Amino acid sequence: MRIRESIKAFSHNIRHVRLQGLPLAARHLLILAMLMITLAGGAIGGHLLGVFAQGACASGDQAYSVRWGDTLSGIAVRYHTTWQKLASYNHLANPNLIYPYQTICIPGKGSGGSGSGSGSGGYLPASQYVAIARQDASNAGILPNLFVRQINQESGFNPWAVSPAGAIGIAQFMPATAAGLGINPHDPIQSLRAAARLMASYVYQYGDYAKALAAYNAGPGTVNWAVRVGGANWFSYLPYETRNYIDVIMGW
């Protein structure tokens, strides 16, 4: 986005420069110099915007300098808190709009806005995982309410949950599935994000939220078989556990 705006500004500036009469090599050098000045100005402007976007942090707080590609939720995970608390503590009107080099204040233990994590990777209260699940669902483009119901059905938002079949953690991933997704199923933050993205991929694949839920619960192979054999009546060909799973989450 910044590069696009810089090029637009460069195009605007170059219109006001008379190049007629200059040798071709001189024209190219002039254009290149103006382009470099325009891009450098955009980078410096972004740096200054980040510098002045946030004042000094309170005594006892940690100061985090935003890097390119950072998100508030990612920063929150790093410091064992939530993006909502960081947004409130730093008075961010739009949590999705943070800038490189901006300072994000991480509340210290004595601050009223400190996170509920242990600071050593401890687990958060279930209510905070619900909030994180909603945000992850929204980021992935699926319905937050249904995703919260799904995780509640999977584990009751219990990061320690282990099923008799061997599914692990808050999102109840089988070890092989977790390995394929490149996550640690014992980590609730990783698991929630991966579960939301996996659900979004199933919704895209099947174009139907109920089929996506069936794929998450019983695997895509089971869904494909049910659709192939049952056609429009595919739901009846699912295992009872999967039908009940969908009924509870969808509220049928």
Tell me which of 61, 136, 154, 187 is the catalytic residue. 154
Q: Give the separation between CA 20 and CA 18, rounded to whole angstroms.
A: 6
Query: Environment class of residue 39 by beta-carbon count within 10 Å: exposed (0-12), middle (13-18) or buried (19+)?
Result: middle
5 is catalytic: no
- Measure the N-to-C terminal CA separation of the chain; round to a whole number of Å: 44
Contacts of 59 (CB under 8 A, 6+ apart): 108
Dihedral of alpha carbons 150, 155, 160, 165, sign: negative
Buried residues in 54-72 as b, exposed as e (16+ CB within 10 A): beebeeebeebebeeebeb
Q: Which residues are catalytic?
A: 154
